[in-house]
Amino acid sequence: EVQLVESGGGLVKPGGSLRLSCAASGFTFSSYSMNWVRQAPGKGLEWVSSISSSSSYIHYADSMKGRFTISRDNGKNSLYLQMNSLRAEDTAVYFCAREMEYFDSSVVGRLYYFDYWGQGTLVTVSS
């Protein structure tokens, strides 16, 4: 059974730092790209960052670029998100999600989706 379990959330002051972790099990972690997605209280889903299976390709949403760093340790089946210079608007539940992306020749189209999600960890940025 695929499981993704986030941890590391909590209360932090503006300008502070926090490191989130996502422990993966039930699949070959090193074969999949992984993502972080967040959701501010009462708001919609917001894509945060992605990392390819071997960490060769990393992408960030513009509002997180330069402040957040995604990483992974395939030996530990773990995904991380280092968050620095935190702002009140970073307050959200942070989810990790497994990514699938491929070209399906049977429908002549490219597929991109998140098939498994963790339960999320709450980050609160407040003084």
Q: Of the candidates 29, 70, 118, 123, which one interacts with other proteins according to CB under 8 A?
A: 118
Stretch that binds other proteins, among 22-30, 52-60, 66-74, 82-90 (CB under 8 A): 52-60
Q: Of the candidates 12, 20, 120, 125, which one interacts with other proteins according to CB under 8 A?
A: 120
| Minimum gap (Å) between residue 91 Cβ and other proteins | 16
| Minimum gap (Å) between residue 20 Cβ and other proteins | 15
Residues in the chain: 127
Cβ within 8 Å of residue 73, ≥6 positions away: 80
Q: What is the DSSP string of 91-111?
A: -EEEEEEEEEEEEETTTTEEE
Nearer to other proteins, 73 or 115 (CB): 115
By the rule CB under 8 A, 23 interacts with other proteins: no
